[in-house]
């Protein structure tokens, strides 16, 4: 009984906080738009019982999902979100791997300090950090003032409300999610393998690419998934740092819900986005399972 209760608690949590809200959103996505409160006409009447469910199946249509395929806005938003997520993941990996490698090679007494420095941004509100970047990247911001003082530029750069600002904000925000898994993998790496490779004639660079890089793959894969999955549906950073020119699914979802008040179409966008995210989530779970099996 204790084992059943222990297993039932997380499943009950997922049922209440994930499955039930998803079913509600799915139900709204199959409804019709209406100028009312709430702004949709439900096609499924649960109070009618089985007869209402049969009537719902007979009148079932996917016009909201078909509309997403007919309007170029949603395809462009999805492709733009996918591009930004992939580029941001690559940039985060390029910045995060050297940091994680330096942490793993640092003396044991310094690792705790370096770990605190990596997770220190989490001690501050996410919105405050994004607003801080708005001040840094503005034309009168700190970055332009420093560049002007050093004589690198002659006039302030336009960084805010550009894709560059979006990438900076995403890399800064999600960098710990890339560093920590890679550091955890490199920290467990046996240094004797590097010494053996060097004894066999490899240089330090060759030993890194032949030994360290392949063995760090589990951490790299985990970090890439932890960055890619949330960035694909990111809303706050593109809205505050990217402005109106940045098109992403999270931003489109917000505008459909709160600006256009087209809840059925917005729910259809949410369902499609969730279905798309299921693929990397499943791959991430498979990668974690392989790591656990290899650890045994």
Q: Structurally, how many domains does the chain consist of? A: 2
CA distance 50 to 139: 62
Answer yes or no: is 266 within a domain: yes
Q: For 203-225, what is each residue's pLDDT tens digit?
A: 888 888 888 888 898 899 889 98
Instruction: Please give the model's pTM, rounded to 2 decimal places.
Output: 0.83
CA distance 230 to 58: 37
CA distance 27 to 33: 13
Q: Is the pLDDT higher at 225 or at 296?
A: 225
Do 245 and 268 sit in the same domain of this protein? yes
> What's residue 58's pLDDT?
63
CA distance 283 to 277: 10
Q: For 166-177, what is each residue's pLDDT tens digit?
A: 999 999 999 999
Do 40 and 110 sit in the same domain of this protein? no
Phi, psi at 41, each rounded to 5°: -110, 110
Q: Whole domain around residue 283: which residue ranges?
A: 70-295
Do 144 and 239 sit in the same domain of this protein? yes
Answer yes or no: is 11 within a domain: no
Answer yes or no: is 7 within a domain: no
Q: Residue 148: which CATH number? A: 1.10.3720.10
> What's residue 54's pLDDT?
66
CA distance 281 to 264: 25
The domain boundary residue, chosen from 7, 33, 61 = 61
3-class secondary structure, 41: strand
Answer yes or no: is 14 within a domain: no
Answer yes or no: is 99 within a domain: yes
Torsion sign over Cα 257, 259, 261, 266:
negative
Alpha helices in the chain (DSSP H): 2-14, 20-29, 50-58, 63-70, 72-105, 108-119, 126-137, 142-150, 163-187, 191-199, 204-207, 213-215, 217-232, 236-237, 249-254, 263-295
Q: For 12-24, what is each residue's pLDDT tens digit?
A: 888 888 888 888 8
Q: How confident is the model at residue 198 (pLDDT cuts 50, 70, 90)?
A: confident
Contact of 237 with 169, CB cutoff 8 Å: yes
| Percent of the chain with pLDDT strictly greater than 70 | 91
Do 51 and 116 sit in the same domain of this protein? no
Do 78 and 45 sit in the same domain of this protein? no
């Amino acid at each position: 009984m204790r084992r059943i209760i222990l297993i039932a608690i997380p499943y009950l949590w997922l049922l209440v906080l994930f499955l039930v809200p998803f079913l509600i959103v799915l139900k709204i996505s199959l409804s019709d738009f209406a100028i009312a409160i709430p702004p949709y006409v439900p096609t499924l009447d649960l109070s009618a019982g089985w007869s209402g469910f049969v009537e719902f199946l007979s009148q079932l249509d996917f016009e909201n999902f078909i509309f997403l395929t007919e309007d170029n806005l949603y395809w462009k938003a999805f492709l733009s979100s996918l591009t930004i997520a992939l580029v941001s993941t690559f940039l985060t990996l390029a910045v995060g791997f050297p940091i994680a490698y330096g942490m793993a090679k640092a003396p044991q007494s310094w690792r705790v300090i370096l770990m605190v420095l990596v997770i220190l941004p989490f001690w501050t509100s996410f919105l405050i950090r994004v607003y801080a970047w708005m001040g840094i990247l503005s034309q009168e911001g700190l970055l332009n003032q420093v560049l002007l003082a050093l004589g690198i530029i002659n006039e302030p750069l336009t960084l805010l409300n550009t894709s560059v600002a979006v990438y900076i904000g995403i890399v800064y925000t999600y960098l710990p999610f890339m560093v920590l898994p890679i550091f955890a993998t490199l920290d467990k790496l046996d240094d004797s393998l590097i010494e053996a490779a060097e004894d066999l004639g490899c240089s330090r660079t060759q030993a890194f690419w032949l030994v360290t890089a392949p063995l760090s793959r589990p951490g790299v894969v985990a970090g890439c998934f932890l960055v890619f999955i949330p960035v694909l549906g990111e809303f706050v950073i593109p809205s505050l740092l990217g402005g109106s020119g940045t098109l992403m699914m999270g931003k489109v979802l917000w505008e459909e819900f709160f600006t256009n008040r087209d809840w059925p179409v917005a729910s259809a966008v949410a369902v499609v986005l969730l279905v798309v995210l299921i693929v990397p989530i499943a791959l991430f779970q498979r990668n974690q399972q392989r790591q656990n099996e290899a650890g045994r």
